[in-house]
Amino acid sequence: MDDLLADFLTETNEGLARLDEALLQLEKEPSSRGVLSEIFRTVHTIKGTCGFLGLPRLEGVAHAAENVLGLWREGTLAVTQEGVTLILSAADRIKQIVAGLEATGQEPAGDDTPLKAALDAAALGEALPEEGDHEPILAEEEAPPADAPLAASPEGAGAGGQAPQTIRVAVEVLEDLMVLVSELVLTRNQLLQLARSESNAAFAVPLQRLSQITSDLQDGVMKTRMQPIGHAWSKLPRLVRDLSRDLGKRIELDMRGAETELDRQVLELIKDPLTHMVRNSADHGLETPEQRRAAGKGETGRILLNAFHEGGHIVLEIGDDGRGLNTDRIKAKALSQGLATETELAAMNDRDVHRFIFRAGFSTAAEVTSVSGRGVGMDVVKTNIERIGGIVDLRSREHRGTTFTIKIPLTLAIAAALIVEAGGERFAIPQAGVLELVRVGPGKGPKVEKIKEARVMRLRDQLLPLIPLKSLLRLEAEPGQSDAEGFVVVTQVGAQLFGIVVDRVFDTEEIVVKPVAPILRHITMFSGNTILGDGSVIMILDPNGIARATGLGSEAASDHAVRKEEPRGGMLARQTSLLLFRAGEGAPKAVPLSLVARLENLKAGSIERAGDSLVTQYRGNLMPLVPLHSFMSPPEAGHQAVLVFGDGDRAMGLMVDEILDVVDAALDMDAAGVRPGFLGSCVVAGRVTEILDTGFWLKQGQPDWFEPLAATGARPSLLVVEDSDFFRNLIVPAVMAAGYDVTTVPNGREALRLREAGERFDVIVSDINMPELDGLGLARAVREGGIWAEVPMIALSSRSDPRDVERGRAAGFSDYIAKFDREALLTSLQQCLHPALAR
């Protein structure tokens, strides 16, 4: 292949890469002059160069498409959806011919007569009114020269309005350069290691300069490998458009985080998996408009692509708001294929059952279509992702949709890492995942504490779960070393904040990341390995894998903003972290850990009496203390265990005998024989345990804080829109115990997304002051129309003067009550649901 043809193919591919996106944009904005001009220039340039190079087949297709585009540009012919489809077909044919040219150096054989005839017929279609009766889409004098492939734009223009200059470099050259830079970094690290052990000052300055130059060179080379993931998404809008027409569905594609950069090699490897999962979402996931209407949803289905960095990983989410996975059908298919027995299936949770779709040959499609249904694809997706050291998982709720999550670890890259030691072994932690470093041990600083076997640390009024690294990896402790001394590396995975306890911290170092060997890939605590300056090989820790291995990476937390609280036995049935404690005789007691602000061990001398009440001086204020049972009195000596509850400036301490443990348990509540101060009892860790009614005890400490729990009989659906975690955790158990099914969201925008998804509720309860979209804005949006237009709305606010109430009612609220008046809330709920009884 000669150089002239090679240059033509390169430039043509660059133009075709943008052509699909431009045509889809033109379909949405038919009067866009700039977009139409760009499309015309691309096709015109291809046609003109084909004549010079002697490519008659390619020239014929491009010429027929150019005729239609020329009429659009002149305003003689209207831009229609059918016309855009025809031009897209011509673009596809051009791509096929170009691919043949690249493979053989000659035009492939083929008959383009039907396509050219359709384009010629479109060019002879019905014309717009005569000139003077309409404004041309693009006037001739405004059109840029046809021989300019160089489109100047504000985003791409350089100094003086000139397009930035670029050159083409073979990928192999860049890969070789990357290998050399990696070796240079390792050599630099070795020199720095030697310099630390030598006292030769003559080498200090030039070595520092060498280190700086190496870092700059490394950054430059890394930039040549990094590309926005939007490049891998560029063909998906066209794919979704074609699928929408072929399947008879209305589909909206929402792409977020397109600017997230990742390694070029990884980008190429994930293109096919992304394409397959988007096709699956369109075919299997989304319903037809008729089915969505019957399910109470909007007619247009939504596919979401999201990319972001988390803990040194690149995370991709591909989700839809469709029918979700049919768990029963998957079980039946798994049983028929002998993948599991009935007993094994019965013991599996829904998420484990859903993972059968990653098995080779597994499909639940009722029929094979041109899109999917052959039982190949998801197993290939999983294999390709794992080949680059990544993982793929999914979560699905029937009738609510399915989301696939792809997590790609660091591979063949250079990154800053913190070098630590645990049990005599060194490890690297990606600096991107390190929030802060805390020294623990004797003295006045933070300390490692134990709640039975669980290690925690109090960091700025927050209980932080701790993971001792040497215990997790089963490393032997050094003689005389205590678990209560060392360093805590504070990191975060999703919404979970936790600390990794290590023995020593050395320094931050630039490391060359190598992928984990396949034989170790099942050990999720590691994301790779590297070579240090002294030649030793160490493992790179993966905070995400550590969280999963220790149970901190709760899958329930992956639902983010919207959480459906499933009722069972009159209380929440989902897994909840509970703080177990002992107070008086009888069964142990428990309270949701999320409601406890702090655990304190007060000195006996710090507890004082104020009238008939107990108080302590706490953080500059007097904090009331409430004994959990009437026979409890403050100790004369020693210490008193106290659970501290706080909300804003308010705080109250509950006096207990002993803290026992923190466990995760499903609250399958039995309210029989319930007594004041407790919501009921359930089995936790094999023992009958009483669950505190936190609101009752808060009222004992401050009578004006909360009101006692009321009870009702029916179970209508309730949407709570509230940004305060404390209030949500407090109000949900109370209203569910009163007989309501509850869904919670943190702001008005998330609430409106539920409306768009077709969710229905009997009552909406909303805070007034919230971020993003407050309660007043939500009420106005609800009353504008839609399936919630007639739903009663109750406003909650700490301000309830007449003017505030009037504004709330004007916005569309049915009632307006004080935020913490739970009795008034339950009464208002009854009145909204049964107005006749209220009268």
The predicted pLDDT at position 711 comes to 37
Burial letters 630-659, b for 16+ CB under 10 A, else e: eebebeeeeebbbbbbbbeeebbbbbbbeb
CA angle 339, 342, 347 (to 5 degrees): 95
pLDDT digits (tens, 9 = 90+) for 698-715: 878 777 664 433 333 446
Joined together, the tokens standing for residue 272 give 């096919």
CATH of 717-838, one of 3.30.565.10, 3.40.109.10, 3.40.50.2300, 3.40.50.720: 3.40.50.2300
Average pLDDT value over all residues in the chain: 77
- pLDDT band (50, 70, 90) for residue 357: confident
Query: Rounded mean pLDDT of 208-226?
Result: 82
- Which of the four pLDDT bands, split at 50, 70 and 90, describes residue 554? very low
Q: Which amino acid is at 751?
A: A
Per-residue confidence (pLDDT) for residue 365, from 0 to 100: 58
Q: Does pLDDT of 142 surpass 70?
A: no
Of 439, 440, 482, 450, nearest to 601 by C-alpha is: 450
Give the pLDDT band (50/70/90) at residue 521. low
* CA 773 to centroid of chain Cα atoms: 20
| For residue 377, pLDDT beyond 70 | no
Selected residue with higher pLDDT from 128 and 93: 93
Which pLDDT does position 235 carry in this prediction? 83
Tokens 């400490």 belong to residue: 701
Transcribe 793-813 into DSSP letters: EEEEES--SHHHHHHHHHHT-
CA angle, corner 521, sides to 516 and 527, nearest 5? 50
**pLDDT value, residue 287:** 92
Distance CA 351, CA 394 (A): 8
* AA letter at 667: L
Distances from the Cα of 60 to the Cαs of 36, 224, 593, in angstroms? 21, 38, 72
Residue 829 has pLDDT above 80, yes or no: yes
pLDDT exceeds cutoff 50 at 638: yes
Q: What average pLDDT score do residues 329-346 get?
A: 84
The 10s digit of each residue's pLDDT in 248-263 is: 999 999 998 888 888 7
Name which residue leads in pLDDT, 453 or 758. 758
| Percent of the chain at pLDDT exceeding 70 | 79
Say whether pLDDT at 498 is over 60: yes
Looking at domain 3-156, its CATH architecture is Up-down Bundle (1.20)
DSSP state letters, 340-358:
S-HHHHHHS-HHHHHGGGG
- Confidence at 79, pLDDT banded by 50, 70, 90: confident
Could you give the residue range(s) of every CATH 2.40.50.180 domain in the chain? Answer: 561-701
Place of tokens 């909406």: 764
The pLDDT tens digits of the residues spanning 658-713 come to 888 888 777 666 665 567 888 878 888 777 788 888 888 887 877 766 443 333 34
CA–CA separation, 226 and 194 (whole Å)? 32
Mean pLDDT across the stretch 257-273? Answer: 81
pLDDT band for position 290 (cuts 50, 70, 90): very high
List where CATH 2.30.30.40 sits in the chain. Answer: 413-557
Q: What is the reported pLDDT for 147?
A: 37
**Which of 73-77, 511-515, 774-778 shows the highest mean pLDDT?**
774-778
Question: Once rounded to an integer, what is the mean pLDDT over residues 443-464?
Answer: 73
Output 767-770 pairs: Cβ under 8 A, ≥24 positions apart.
767/721, 767/722, 767/723, 767/724, 767/727, 767/796, 767/797, 767/819, 768/795, 768/796, 768/797, 768/799, 768/804, 768/808, 769/797, 770/721, 770/722, 770/723, 770/746
Q: Where, residue-wise, is CATH 1.10.287 in the chain?
A: 174-228
Write down the pLDDT at residue 369: 53
Measured CA to CA, the distance from residue 267 to residue 137 in angstroms comes to 38
Residues 141-157, mean pLDDT to the nearest whole number: 38
Averaged over 640-656, what is the pLDDT? 82
Residue 581: closest CA among 565, 552, 601, 551: 601
Q: Cβ distance 151 to 161 under 8 Å?
A: no
Q: What is the mean pLDDT of residues 74-103?
A: 87
Tell whether the model's pLDDT for residue 6 goes beyond 90: no
* Most confidently modeled range among 414-428, 476-490, 717-731, 812-826: 414-428
Closest among 424, 440, 415, 409 to 508, alpha carbons compared: 415
- CA gap 279, 285 in Å, rounded: 9
Cα 486 to Cα 470, 476, 504, 579: the distances in Å are 12, 15, 6, 26
Of 556, 558, 441, 549, give the one whose Cα is nearest residue 498.
549
Top pLDDT among 143 and 499 is at 499
DSSP state letters, 244-256: HHHHT-EEEEEEE
Give this prediction's pTM.
0.48
Integer CA distances (angstroms), 547 to 21, 350, 495, 520, 574, in order? 40, 21, 11, 18, 20
CA distance 808 to 124: 60
What is the rounded distance in angstroms from the CA atom of residue 205 to the CA atom of residue 208? Answer: 5
Residue 145: the pLDDT is 37
Domain range 174-228, CATH architecture:
Orthogonal Bundle (1.10)
Please give the pLDDT value at position 764: 92
Name the superfamily (CATH) of residues 561-701: CheA-289, Domain 4 (2.40.50.180)
Of 18-22, 645-649, 767-771, which gets the smallest average pLDDT? 645-649
- Amino acid identity of residue 49, one-letter, is T
Identify the band that residue 305 occupies on the pLDDT scale cut at 50, 70 and 90.
very high
Using the predicted structure, report yes or no on whether residue 373 has a pLDDT greater than 60: no
Bridge partner residues of 598 (DSSP):
644
Q: What is the DSSP letter of 603?
A: E
The residue type of 593 is L
Confidence of residue 372 (pLDDT cuts 50, 70, 90): low
Task: Please give the average per-residue pLDDT across 615-642, as a whole number.
Answer: 80
Q: How many other CB atoms are found less than 10 A from the CB of residue 805? A: 17
- According to the model, what pLDDT value does residue 378 have? 79
The predicted structure's pLDDT at residue 676 = 81
Pinpoint the residues of the chain covered by CATH 3.30.565.10. Answer: 230-408
Q: CATH classification of 413-557 is 2.30.30.40, yes or no?
A: yes
At residue 479 the predicted structure's pLDDT band, cuts being 50, 70 and 90, is low
Q: Using pLDDT thresholds of 50, 70 and 90, give the confidence band for residue 800.
A: low
Q: What is the CATH number of domain 230-408?
A: 3.30.565.10
